[in-house]
Structures are given as structure tokens and as C-alpha cells.
């Protein structure tokens, strides 16, 4: 058996040891983080301030933007600080927190995307009962369930991962604390420790995926029966962005977690991590605003009010 020592900190290898490349990575991450921050905050503010967007679909979109902000904020600032300060160390407690909150926000986000598929199903397949089924209380309860599922799944994975002894090394071949990379550092049987968390995640994830597929099969069947072309366009304008977001989330996370983990630092591992940790929070506001005229109109009004509030500021002359 290898000697097991108490790990108090981890070393994040990141992308490069070259100082110039570290600065370049800092600039790229800063631009992506600011873009995601501005985009999601605009969506949240537009939904909260525009009474035309006070509906279940936009309430769930507002929750999704909050989760996207949380997921990218968990890893973005720490990664940028490491690049800027040329420091790769993250404490044990910091790594635990990063794993828990990142997994929490991502899992809750996927659960929320499933609820959004159900919302679209009720709106298109049962429009006469939409107001009764998707009432305010039901929406709050469904959103709360998504957050609870994320917390339970994250607690299971985090607890099972950090209950393992780390004795191979404390070097993580990634720019943030990632569960597959952490499991490589353990000297015990990781399958036993992760069994409950894996079973729970597989059941919940597969259930959500099947639910989304079944919902959209019924949605497209109902849309096919709509006689007017305007009805088609209205239905697809709300469904296509959601499908793109779901596909983006599943494809990027699938690449990261289903591919074999290499023993040495691999550019593919780093690229996959960027795809599922940075790209969805950055692209989700863009995807929803591009195809949705109501969101576009609300964002234009919001920006117009912000510009007017700045131009009408009083000027004090001493």
C-alpha cells in the first residue's frame, strides 16, 4: 500500500507554465467571465423589471441565469487570480467548496432545463389548462425542487470524493478542482466510495433526459398539427432555444465526463473542461435572446432606460 499523507492543499496545473501564455489565458477568461456576467445579469434584470415577462417560462429562465452566474463564478475568479498572480495553489477547503458549488449549480441547472421542457409541453399541448397547471405556487415548488436535487447530488458526490484518502499526489491536471481528476489522486477503491453518488446521478440524469425527449416528441407532434404558419413560428421560437441549450449542456458535459482521463496533462481534458464550465453560461443568454422577440424587446427597453438614467444625471458645478 502506498504511504498516505494528509493533503492540505492542491496544485492546479492549468494551461501553461509560460508567463506570457498565463497572461493571455487571464485576458481570455476575464473577457468570457465579464460577458457571461453582463449577459446573465441583463436577462435577470429584464425578467424582473418587465411585467410582460412575468410568466412561468421567463421565471425559469431567470433561475437558469442565476445558476449560470453561480457556476462560472465558482471557478472563474479563482482561475483568473491564479493566472494573474502566477499561483497554482488551492486549499483543501477551497477545493471542497469549488467541487460542491460547481456540481450543485450544474446539476440544478439540468434539473431546471427539464422543468422548462415540461413548461413548453404544457403551453403547447395543453394551452387551455396552462394557467391552472403552471400557477405561481407550482412554479416556485418546481424551481425549489431543482435546487434541492442539485444540493443533494452535489453533497453525495462531494462527500464521497473527499472521504477518500489522497496519497498518489496533490497535483490536479486541470485549471479547477474536477471530480474525475481528484479520483485519480486517491489510493483506495474509488468505485465503492462513488457508487451511491453515481447511481443517484445516473438515475436522475437519465430520468431528466428521457423526460425531455418524451416532452419534445409530444411537442413536435402537436406543432405538426397546427394549421397556421404563425403558430409554427411562435412554438418553435420558444422551443428551439431551449433545445439548443439542452444540447449544448449535454454535449459539453458528456465530452468531459465520458471520455477516458489521461494520466498526463492533456489539452483535450482542458478543452473539454472549458466547453462545459465556461461556454454554457456564456452562450445561454445569447441563445435565448437571439430567438425570442420578447426578450429582445425587454433588453432594448432596459438598455434604453440605463442610457437615459446616465445621460440625465445632474451636474454639480462648484
Model pLDDT, residue 315: 45
Model pLDDT, residue 17: 76
Model pLDDT, residue 316: 43
Nearest to 32 by CA among 289, 24, 174, 267: 24
Helices (H), 185-317: 190-224, 229-258, 267-277, 279-291, 293-311
Asked if pLDDT for residue 318 goes beyond 50, the answer is no
More confident residue, 306 or 79: 79
Confidence at 35, pLDDT banded by 50, 70, 90: very high
Asked if pLDDT for residue 223 goes beyond 60, the answer is yes
Mean pLDDT of all residues in 296-304: 78
Most confident of 67-81, 220-234, 251-265: 67-81
Q: Which CATH number describes the domain made up of 9-310?
A: 1.20.1070.10
| CA 173, chain centre distance (Å) | 22
**pTM of the predicted model, to two decimals?**
0.85
pLDDT in tens, 159-216: 888 887 777 678 888 888 888 788 778 776 655 555 566 666 667 777 888 888 888 8
pLDDT in tens, 107-141: 999 999 999 989 989 988 888 899 899 999 999 99
Instruction: Kindly report the number of other CB atoms within 10 A of residue 13's CB atom.
Output: 15
Provide the percentage of residues in the chain whose pLDDT is more than 70.
82
Domain ranges of the chain: 9-310
Model pLDDT, residue 69: 94
Contacts of 137 (CB under 8 A, 6+ apart): none
Q: What is the mean pLDDT of the chain?
A: 81
Amino acid at each position: 500500500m502506498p504511504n498516505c499523507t494528509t493533503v492540505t492543499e492542491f496544485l492546479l496545473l492549468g494551461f501553461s507554465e509560460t508567463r506570457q501564455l498565463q497572461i493571455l489565458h487571464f485576458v481570455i477568461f476575464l473577457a468570457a467571465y465579464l460577458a457571461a456576467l453582463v449577459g446573465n445579469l441583463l436577462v435577470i434584470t429584464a425578467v424582473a423589471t418587465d411585467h410582460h415577462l412575468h410568466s412561468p417560462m421567463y421565471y425559469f429562465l431567470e433561475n437558469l441565469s442565476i445558476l449560470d452566474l453561480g457556476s462560472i463564478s465558482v471557478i472563474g475568479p479563482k482561475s483568473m487570480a491564479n493566472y494573474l498572480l502566477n499561483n497554482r495553489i488551492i486549499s483543501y477547503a477551497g477545493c471542497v467548496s469549488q467541487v460542491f458549488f460547481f456540481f450543485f449549480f450544474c446539476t440544478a441547472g439540468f434539473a431546471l432545463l427539464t422543468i422548462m421542457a415540461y413548461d413548453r409541453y404544457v403551453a403547447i399541448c395543453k394551452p387551455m389548462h396552462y394557467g391552472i397547471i403552471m400557477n405561481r405556487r407550482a412554479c416556485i415548488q418546481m424551481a425549489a425542487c431543482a435546487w434541492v436535487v442539485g444540493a443533494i447530488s452535489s453533497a453525495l458526490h462531494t462527500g464521497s470524493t473527499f472521504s477518500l484518502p489522497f496519497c498518489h499526489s496533490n497535483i490536479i491536471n486541470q485549471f479547477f478542482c474536477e471530480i474525475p481528476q481528484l479520483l485519480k489522486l486517491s489510493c483506495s477503491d474509488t468505485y465503492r466510495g462513488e457508487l451511491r453518488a453515481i447511481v443517484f446521478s445516473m438515475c436522475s440524469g437519465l430520468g431528466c433526459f428521457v423526460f425531455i425527449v418524451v416532452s419534445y416528441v409530444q411537442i413536435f407532434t402537436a406543432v405538426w398539427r397546427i394549421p397556421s404558419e404563425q403558430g409554427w413560428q411562435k412554438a418553435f421560437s420558444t422551443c428551439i432555444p431551449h433545445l439548443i441549450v439542452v444540447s449544448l449542456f449535454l454535449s459539453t458535459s458528456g465530452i468531459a465526463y465520458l471520455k477516458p482521463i489521461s494520466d498526463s496533462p492533456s489539452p483535450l481534458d482542458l478543452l473539454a473542461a472549458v466547453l462545459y464550465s465556461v461556454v454554457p453560461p456564456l452562450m445561454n443568454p445569447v441563445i435565448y435572446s437571439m430567438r425570442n422577440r420578447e426578450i429582445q424587446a425587454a433588453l432594448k427597453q432596459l438598455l434604453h432606460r440605463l442610457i437615459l438614467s446616465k445621460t440625465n444625471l445632474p451636474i454639480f458645478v462648484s
